[in-house]
Amino acid sequence: FVGDRVAAVAAESPDIAKKAVNLIKVEYEALPVITDVEEAIKPEAWPIHEGGNIVGISRAEAGNVDEAFQECDYVFEDRYTTQAIHHAAIEPHVAIADFAPNGKLTVYSPCQNTFAFRVIMSRIFGLSYNRIRMVAPAIGGAFGGKLEVTVEPVAAVLSQMTGKPVKVEYNRKESILSTRVRHASVNYVKTGFMKDGTLKAVAFKVYTNTGAYASRALNVSGAMSHKVFKAYKIDHMRFQCQPVYTNTEIAGAMRGYGSPQVYFGWQRQMQKIADFLHMDMAALQMKNMVDPDSCDPIFHKPHGNSRPKDCLKRALELIDYEACLKEQEATRNIDIVSRRSQSICCGGTLLSGLCRGPL
């Protein structure tokens, strides 16, 4: 992928380093480029990695989903997509590495996981843990984007080679291209429901774009596979997610850890269901949300005094929901009148004003 590592330069100033980088000549072998997950999963797709482009699969299921769909009054099936997003923390990715003459390595990095970083660095350099010190100063923003090593090994290798402390700092463009982004996704959501708004069965088929390398592909899809069972009282649910390789930026951890992707499509479909039933969206949520004594349909264990209904009630109070609905309805009526108001030339006579029937 475009942000992949090809070479690194250590110099006494950024200007010298940039000039040296521009002197490096690389010969590339042109290969097929795949950026779309649904193209990448086709049998004839070019294998980005040995073994194919599907990293693996996460599954979870509760109840008898197929039978429950047959018992529903209505079933909606829709496709939703979410895009990759970069964390865009104010502080870019940066690290200072100091490989001392005695063979001990100290790395200063505003990271989110110093102990895991130390484990990875020990494997890269063949050092015992007691010879590696990871120092995490105040973090200028991370949001999941600094859970994985990025610039740290490069700074350490250059420090080892030069015998001097080395600092590697990405600018904004480099951070977006060469660190981590949120997984883009394609979500197929199938929901069966009753005339009174009761959700009876749901099936998810999700593809996430892990980019050029696996990174946290299965971690995020695994988190998704259990989060969808927590929000609503639905006994029959099926979840399947396949992370897919593409020639794009590497996807990793980001706030929500899978929830934004899968819940975005589901909530859009919930709105569609509410509109179809001429039902208020808040009322639909309240009808189906879990109660304090609700149980997880997979593990059959209590959620633990969960109170999303109380949160929703409080939110509706804080925003004065009834007033919002009235304002929305008034705006909708104005828009309808505006769209109906027109000037129409009919049989040589100009008719201007509100059209109240077919012409």
What per-residue confidence (pLDDT) applies to 338? 66
What per-residue confidence (pLDDT) applies to 218? 95
| Pairing verdict, β 341-346 and 349-354 | antiparallel
Q: What are phi and psi for residue 224, nearest 5 degrees?
A: -55, -40
Of 143, 137, 144, 146, the C-alpha closest to 170 is 146
- The angle formed by the CA atoms of residues 126, 132 and 134, to the nearest 5 degrees, is 130
What per-residue confidence (pLDDT) applies to 200? 98
pLDDT tens sequence across 165-209: 999 999 999 999 999 999 999 999 999 999 999 999 999 999 999
pLDDT tens sequence across 266-303: 999 999 999 999 999 999 999 999 999 999 999 899 99
Average pLDDT over residues 30-45: 96
CA distance 157 to 8: 10
Tokens of 228: 């969808």
Confidence of residue 148 (pLDDT cuts 50, 70, 90): very high
pLDDT tens sequence across 86-117: 999 999 999 999 999 999 999 999 999 999 99
> Can you give the pTM of this predicted structure?
0.89
Going by the DSSP 8-state scheme, the letter that residue 131 receives in this structure is G
Would you say residue 210 has pLDDT above 70? yes
Mean pLDDT estimate for the chain: 92
CA distance 265 to 256: 15
Question: Does residue 358 come out as left (phi exceeding 0), alpha (psi in the -120 to 50 range) or beta?
Answer: beta
CA distance 44 to 138: 48
Would you say residue 349 has pLDDT above 50? no
Helix, strand, or coil here: 22? helix
**Counting every residue, how long is the chain?**
359
CB neighbours of 130 closer than 8 A, spacing ≥ 6? none
Confidence of residue 337 (pLDDT cuts 50, 70, 90): low
Distance between first and last Cα of the chain: 58
| Separation in Å, CA 59 to CA 184, 226, 233, 293, 295 | 19, 9, 19, 26, 19
In DSSP terms, 150 is beta-bridged to none
